[in-house]
Amino acid sequence: MSTIQSIAGENEHPDVALVERVRRGDVSAYDTLVRKYERQIFRIAQHITQNREDAQDVMQDAFLKAYEKLDQFQGNAKFYTWLVRIAVNESLMRLRKRRSGKMVSIDEDLETDEGTVPRDLADWAPDPEQNYSSAELADILRRTIQGLPRGFRVVFALRDVEGLSTEETAEALGLSVPAVKSRLLRARLQLRERLSRYFHRRTRAAQRTPRKSGVET
């Protein structure tokens, strides 16, 4: 039987066989799937909710919901993309609860011209991240991405950080491919613009200034 499975599964994504095992009642196969994607799901939830406790709750609820609804999962989508979609919806529901029932979507606050035209055109220092400790760098990266509208932030997180394709990102967010492309460009340019403040080549005067005072504003 294992021979037949391995022949059938040669070109299949490894998740397909795991999902099938879960459907047949093998909970340990689900353990493997959770293990594989739990960190990504937590990060995506944190990007949307911007709250650590909410992201932890979303991570648990998303995996539980996926488990309960596994029968509804269509094999033509990747399990991971389907799971991300559930996590995105759970994250938005969590935000809605926090705002006492007000509708929340990933389309909020997109009416901004920021980042459509690059303004800071100074080159960056080579390996600019090395000018900061890892804690300082993490703080800069967090604050910078948190300043983006949610609809840009989540597209950047899925596409560029978690490595989903444009099509998968569109499917996970319920957006069209052109919408994902346009948001991704805006997100990338806005982040670049904001990071330029920290990363462009320091002048000699700036190099003489002790770094203790923090980053330029």
**Sites of contact with another protein (CB under 8 A):** 25, 27, 30-31, 34-35, 38-39, 42-43, 46-47, 55-56, 59-60, 63-64, 67-68, 117-118, 121-124, 128-129, 134, 137-138, 141-142, 145, 156, 160-161, 181, 184-185, 188-189, 191-192, 195-196, 199
Q: How far is the CB of 93 from another protein (least distance, A)?
A: 17
Asked if 172 contacts 85 with a C-beta cutoff of 8 angstroms, the reply is yes
What's the Cα-to-Cα distance from 43 to each of 3, 103, 204, rounded to whole Å?
A: 38, 23, 38
Nearer to another protein, 6 or 143 (CB): 143
Q: How far is the CB of 129 from another protein (least distance, A)?
A: 6
Nearer to another protein, 9 or 39 (CB): 39
Nearer to another protein, 107 or 139 (CB): 139
Nearer to another protein, 8 or 177 (CB): 177
Q: How far is the CB of 30 from another protein (least distance, A)?
A: 6
Asked if 146 contacts 50 with a C-beta cutoff of 8 angstroms, the reply is yes
Q: How far is the CB of 6 from another protein (least distance, A)?
A: 27
Q: How far is the CB of 54 from another protein (least distance, A)?
A: 12
Nearer to another protein, 23 or 97 (CB): 23
Nearer to another protein, 12 or 23 (CB): 23
Q: How far is the CB of 191 from another protein (least distance, A)?
A: 5
